[in-house]
């Protein structure tokens, strides 16, 4: 039987399916095989840590989506998907990590039973979960070679529904709590591994005041210090925090798989002039970018406004300054569509959501102050989280 407590209404799932099929029609795709777990969840509600084996959701020409995955995980699909049980297909376990057979062979047979192997089948060729071997099998077993449907569903997720925004605001309350905990306990001598344990506690523990607890984020806490902060994606070790160093904390609150990333930098001791200058330029540039983050403008308008300020301060940032966020699974909380960078002329629409990533990573230091934002119908964007937007200093 279908999940009795889905996270979204039947009408919302139906609208998502309709949007996807319209995009498929424009792309000349009759049947779409969706292997991105975020897209699978968005289309069906499926939620499980099963993306290490072959799985997918199939959107055919008609009817509900079909969940396809490992047989022992079918019970998870029954408990989280909105579709009736007959739209959930589990393959036998002897297909798992086998050199003799592949689960895509089983999938192709199920497509043939429905006649879906006869038309044009789209696949998400450029993502983490779709394998070269599986693609070779589909090329051999389908009537027509599969075509690329990468990001087709991702783009349908760009504008958030009221319920999605509600979940992201809950995630914002969680990330506020996480940053408050960090500032409370971060001091010289505190070991990073212990600090991360407290970050996870703040991220996950049920809060009577909030009325909810948190989910695991798609990216682990990132908190490099000193010269290591020149590298934006280092995690942690068991070494103690030191006075005279800056550490940025890039973390996200997560609720029902919806994310609110937020970064702040803490300096232990008296900040160097380098950090004070970086704070001034970043905050001024962020204000300019937020002012450009309005419906009808483009992604590059935000980026150009921010980069123009950095240029006045003689600061070079040679990477994008943001990306869309929402529902996600490891290894990334971005939606992998548009980017806040010069040249991206995607028009901003109300209820699009972005991580405005204004981080600076130089030769021997790094600095991050970021915001997660919602584009509004009119006026400046909503900043989801309420954390002091400044360099955090602890003597």
Helix, strand, coil percent content, the chain, rounded in steps of 5: 35, 20, 45
Cis preceding-peptide flag for 331 (omega within 30 of 0): yes
Alpha-carbon torsion (156, 55, 125, 23), positive or negative: negative
Neighbours of 186 (CB within 10 A): 20
Contact 279, 390 (CB under 8 A): yes
Alpha carbon 336 to chain centroid, angstroms: 8
Q: Within 50-121, where are the H helices?
A: 74-80, 103-114
Phi, psi angles (nearest 5°) of residue 233: -125, 35
What is the helix (H) or strand (E) element at residue 87, kind and residue range?
Answer: none
Q: How much is the pLDDT for 95? A: 97
pLDDT of the residue at 3? 75
Domains along the chain with CATH numbers: 10-156 (3.40.350.10), 162-394 (3.90.230.10)
**What is residue 5's predicted lDDT score, i.e. its pLDDT?**
86
The angle formed by the CA atoms of residues 249, 253 and 258, to the nearest 5 degrees, is: 135
Compute how many other C-beta atoms are within 10 angstroms of the C-beta atom of residue 117.
20
How far is it, in rounded angstroms, from Cα 287 to Cα 306?
8
User: What length is written for the chain?
Assistant: 395
Report the pLDDT value the prediction gives residue 395, as an integer from 0 to 100: 83
In the DSSP assignment, the letter for residue 115 is T
CA–CA gap between residue 247 and residue 185 (Å, rounded): 14
Per-residue model confidence (pLDDT) at position 256:
98
Whether 107 contacts 130, CB under 8 Å: no
Note the pLDDT of residue 257.
98
Tokens found for residue 162: 């009221």
Q: Is 359:346 a contact under the CB 8 Å cutoff?
A: no
User: Residue-wise pLDDT tens for the chain (395 aa)?
Assistant: 667 789 999 999 999 999 999 999 999 999 999 999 999 999 999 999 999 999 999 999 999 999 999 999 999 999 999 999 999 999 999 999 999 999 999 999 999 999 999 999 999 999 999 999 999 999 999 999 999 999 999 999 999 999 999 999 999 999 999 999 999 999 999 999 999 999 999 999 999 999 999 999 999 999 999 999 999 999 999 999 999 999 999 999 999 999 999 999 999 999 999 999 999 999 999 999 999 999 999 999 999 999 999 999 999 999 999 999 999 999 999 999 999 999 999 999 999 999 999 999 999 999 999 999 999 999 999 999 999 999 999 98
Report helix, strand or coil for 249.
strand
Angle, in degrees to the nearest 10, between helices 10-27 and 37-44: 130
* Of residues 147, 143, 204, the one with CA closest to residue 178: 204
Residue 34's SS3 state is strand
Contacts of 167 (CB under 8 A, 6+ apart): 7, 255, 256, 258
Q: Which long-range contacts (CB under 8 A, 24 or more apart) does 201-204 make?
A: 202/174, 202/177, 202/178, 203/174, 203/175, 203/177, 203/178, 203/251, 203/253, 203/254
Residue among 166, 124, 205, 151 at smallest CA distance from 353? 166
């Amino acid at each position: 039987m279908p999940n009795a407590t889905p996270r979204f209404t039947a009408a919302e799932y139906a609208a998502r399916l309709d949007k996807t099929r319209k995009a498929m029609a424009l792309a000349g795709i009759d049947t779409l095989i969706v292997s991105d777990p975020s897209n699978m969840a968005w289309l069906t509600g499926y939620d499980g840590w099963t993306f290490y084996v072959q799985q997918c959701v199939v959107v055919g020409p008609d009817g509900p989506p079909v969940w396809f995955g490992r047989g022992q995980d079918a019970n998870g699909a029954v408990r989280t998907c909105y579709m009736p049980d007959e739209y959930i297909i589990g393959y036998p376990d002897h297909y798992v990590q086998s050199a003799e057979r592949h689960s895509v062979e089983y999938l192709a047979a199920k497509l043939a039973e429905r006649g879906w192997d006869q038309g044009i089948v789209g696949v998400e060729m450029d993502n983490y979960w779709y394998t070269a071997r599986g693609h070779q099998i589909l090329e051999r077993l389908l009537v027509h070679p599969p075509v690329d449907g990468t990001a087709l569903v991702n783009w349908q997720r760009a504008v958030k529904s009221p319920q999605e925004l509600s979940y992201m605001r809950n995630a914002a309350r969680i990330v506020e709590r996480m940053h408050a905990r960090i500032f409370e306990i971060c001091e010289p001598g505190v070991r990073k591994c212990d600090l991360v344990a407290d970050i996870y506690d703040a991220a996950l523990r049920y809060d009577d005041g909030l009325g909810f607890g948190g989910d695991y984020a798609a990216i682990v806490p990132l908190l490099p210090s000193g010269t290591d902060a020149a590298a934006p994606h280092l995690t942690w070790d068991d070494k103690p925090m030191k006075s005279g160093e800056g550490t940025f904390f890039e973390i996200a609150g997560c609720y029902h798989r919806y994310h609110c990333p937020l970064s702040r930098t803490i300096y232990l001791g008296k900040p160097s002039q380098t950090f004070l200058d970086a704070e001034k330029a970043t905050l001024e540039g962020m204000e300019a970018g937020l002012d450009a983050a309005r419906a009808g403008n483009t992604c590059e308008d935000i980026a150009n406004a921010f980069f123009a300020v950095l240029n006045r301060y003689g600061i070079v940032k040679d990477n994008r300054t943001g990306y869309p966020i929402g529902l996600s699974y490891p290894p990334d909380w971005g939606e992998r569509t548009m980017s806040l960078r010069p040249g991206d002329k995607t028009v901003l629409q109300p209820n699009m959501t972005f991580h405005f990533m204004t981080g600076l990573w130089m030769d021997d230091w790094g600095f991050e102050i970021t915001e997660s934002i919602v584009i509004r119908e009119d006026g400046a964007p909503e900043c989801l989280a309420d954390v002091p937007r400044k360099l955090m200093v602890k003597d």
